[in-house]
Amino acid sequence: MSVTSPVAIVDAVTADLLANSGLTPKQTRKYAEPITIMPDAMPLLSVWLELTQYSLLTGNPPAYERRHTLNVAWYVANPKQSEVGGVGDPAVVKALDTTLETLIAQLTTYTDGLPGGLGPQLVGTLQSRQLAPQEGIVWRGLVELVVEEAT
């Protein structure tokens, strides 16, 4: 089997989430974590692949099993946060929590193979979930998915 480009993985997951999650981001960013996000760009969906680990398999020529750590993040703005001294807004956090669960529900469908014709060579397993404030008035929900690929 040939290896799958990390770009192809990100493209397939992004397309699937946009088509099948029911979520409607105002903007989408791919391939790298956004550094600066303007409040008017939110809600924002970002999908990137940050780390790939290799395990050598036997054979000649050598082949590798690859494990990609795929990040899926949803960013929202909380304009009230600057007015309340960073206390936060429970309604914003609750809505982000619900959005994360919607993303997770779609990502769990990857256990039998990634979308876009990438499965069954590539399968995804949920790794972690985070919900935390970022810089300024931005909140981020992040889901890590390990994508395993045997070549």
pLDDT for 42-99, tens place per residue?
999 999 999 999 888 877 887 888 899 999 999 999 877 655 655 667 888 899 999 9
Domains in the chain, ordered, with CATH?
A: 6-150 (3.30.70.1700)
At 21, the pLDDT band (50, 70, 90 cuts) reads very high
Contacts of 138 (CB under 8 A, 6+ apart): 37, 39, 42, 75, 76, 77, 78
User: Measured between alpha carbons, how far is 80 from 65 in angstroms, rounded to an integer?
Assistant: 47
Looking at residues 104-128, what average pLDDT do you find?
Answer: 93
User: Measured between alpha carbons, how far is 76 from 95 in angstroms, rounded to an integer?
Assistant: 10
Q: What is the pLDDT of residue 86?
A: 55
Percentage, residues of the chain above pLDDT 70: 92
Is residue 87 packed enough to be buried (19+ CB in 10 Å), middle (13-18) or exposed (0-12)? exposed
